[in-house]
Amino acid sequence: MFKRVRGLFSNDLSIDLGTANTLIYVRGSGIVLDEPSVVAIRQRGDGASGNSSKAIAAVGSEAKLMLGRTPGHITAIRPMKDGVIADFTITEKMLQYFIHKVHDNKYWHPSPRVLICVPCGSTQVERRAIRESAAGAGARDVYLIEEPMAAAIGAGMPVSEATGSMVLDIGGGTTEVGILSLNGIVYSESIRTGGDRFDEAIIAYVRRHYSTIIGEATAERVKHDIGSAYAGKELRESYVRGRNLAEGIPRSITLNSNEVLEALQEPLAGIVSTVKGALEKIPPELGSDVAEKGIVLTGGGALLTDIDRLLMEETGLPVIIADDPLTCVARGGGRALEMIEEHGPEVFALEGL
């Protein structure tokens, strides 16, 4: 009852609780928060006496800088893994922090209606964990929407029409492929390959070929700088520093884009085969719609150079990258919230009613 009153004073939020980044879309204000899903925890008190307590040291981009660079009493962790919650309490704290950051209201505790995007492959348990995290963070109502749906709406695809639209959302932890029609998901598939896997692949490659260990942050930077999914015309190079395994001393090495491309082959093959598998399984009518219009790429993975070219060559279908692919899911969630407001929750096959 009191929550309802408080709800008058808080905005509806759409949260893209991603493995890599968390985005919050507020109705009427757009994307108001885009921060890495990283939390740094400080261990208070001395561990020896046993009365140590944990406190949040930093959340978001501040905490991301600490990743891999923390002293003993601070741990920087990513509470989301493979698109689902790995650490329940920390995720709740993080959500709480983000929701409070969005509501800079001193007098009321915010109690917004929240729509959270979940991977379509997540289990009941994982969904429940997300729902309860959000409820614990102060949400009044929690709706869950499947990521391909939100991504397609955010990209501006005609999901309500009786025509097939195929969306491929390459996120930090998961890659989702969905074929949608009439505001519903006809087929969806989720694999736990995403930006993180790309980083890991680069780390593994460098370790194998240069006997050098590089950190995740370095691998991510390499991916952004010279990563590509399809052999391009020009060869780009990047310097990275890592610890040489044989000597045990940090050394500088040079990586070129072809090497990174080679490193990324395995995760990319996984994505391509998922897309092909989806195309095989959908009904022929929808398949023809998709072939006519093409596949839309969203998510941070769409920013990998030439990934659209790779998919075009592999599938023989037109592939286009959505505008502002990083925020597609959050924006789509926001639009879905507006629709719920307007038409009631039965517009989508939403959960959590």
Partner 1 sequence: MNEKTPISHLNDEGDDTSNSKEDSEKISVAQEGEDNINDSETPKVSNQKETNDSETPKVSDKKETEVTDVIDGEKSPGSILRQAREKGNMSIKHISDRLFLDKHVIQALEDDNYEGLPPPIFVRGYLRNYAKVLDIPEENILAVLDQNENTSTPSITKNPLTPNKQTSSNDLWHSVSTVVVIVTLMILMALWQFYPSSDDISSETPGAINSDNESWPSDLDNTEINAEINTVDETAIKPAADNASTTTVTTTTVQSPPAVITVIQQTENTPAQVSPVLVNEEKTILLHFKKRVWMRVTDKTGKQLYEGISKADKALSLEGLPPFNIKVGNSGVDIEYQGEIKNIRNYPKENKSYIIGAVSTGE
The smaller minimum CB distance to partner 1, of residues 186 and 339, is found at: 339
Do 50 and 115 touch, CB atoms closer than 8 A? no
Distance separating alpha carbons of residues 133 and 53, to the nearest angstrom: 21
Q: Return the structure tokens found at 19.
A: 């493995």
* Contact pattern for partner 1 over residues 263 through 302, marking x by CB under 8 A: -----------------------------xxx-x------
HSE-up of residue 69 (Cα within 13 Å, Cβ side): 11
Give me the least distance between CB of 118 and partner 1, in Å please. Answer: 20
Regarding 9 and contact with partner 1 (CB under 8 A), the answer is yes
By CB under 8 A, is residue 115 in contact with partner 1?
Answer: no
Least distance from partner 1 to the Cβ atom of residue 303, Å: 13
Q: How many CB atoms are located within 10 Å of the residue 343 CB?
A: 10
Q: Rg (Cα) of the chain, in Å, rounded?
A: 21
Q: Does 74 bind partner 1 (CB under 8 A)?
A: no
Among 30, 47, 68, 158, contact with partner 1 (rule: CB under 8 A): 158
Residue 260 makes contact with partner 1 by CB under 8 A: no
Instruction: Rule CB under 8 A: choose which of 134, 153, 214, 260 binds partner 1.
Output: 153
Please return the burial class of 104, using the count of CB atoms within 10 Å of its CB with bins 0-12, 13-18 and 19+. exposed
Contacts with partner 1 in 39-68 (CB under 8 A)?
none
| Contact flag: residue 341 with partner 1 (CB under 8 A) | yes
Query: Do the strands 184-191 and 175-181 form a parallel or antiparallel pair, or are they unpaired?
Result: antiparallel
**Cα distance between residue 27 and residue 24, in whole Å:** 10
Residue 158 has a CB neighbour count (10 Å cut-off) of: 13
x/- binding map, residues 169-198, to partner 1, per CB under 8 A? --------------x---------------
Find the part of the chain contacting partner 1 (CB under 8 A) among 197-205, 218-226, 277-285, 337-345: 337-345
Q: Work out whether 249 is an interface residue with partner 1 (CB under 8 A).
A: no
Measure the CA–CA gap between 84 and 255, rounded to whole angstroms.
Answer: 32
Range in contact with partner 1 (rule: CB under 8 A) among 30-38, 148-156, 200-208, 242-250 = 148-156
Cβ at position 143, least distance to partner 1 in Å: 16
Query: Which tokens sit at 131?
Result: 């729902």
| 280/19 Cα distance (integer angstroms) | 29
- What is the footprint of partner 1 within residues 297-326 (CB under 8 A)? 308, 312, 316-323
Q: Does 33 bind partner 1 (CB under 8 A)?
A: no
- Determine the interface stretch with partner 1 among 86-94, 189-197, 210-218, 333-341 (rule: CB under 8 A): 333-341
Nearest to residue 54, comparing CAs of 24, 37, 76, 35?
A: 76
Closest separation in Å from C-beta 65 to partner 1: 30
Q: Binding residues for partner 1, how many (CB under 8 A)?
A: 39
Backbone φ and ψ of 144, nearest 5°: -115, 135
Angle between helices 216-226 and 195-210 (to 10 degrees): 100
Q: What are the strands of the beta sheet with 250-256, ordered from one edge? A: 212-213, 237-244, 250-256
Interface residue list for partner 1 (CB under 8 A):
8-12, 27-28, 105, 107-108, 153, 155-160, 183, 292-294, 296, 308, 312, 316-323, 335, 338-339, 341-343, 347
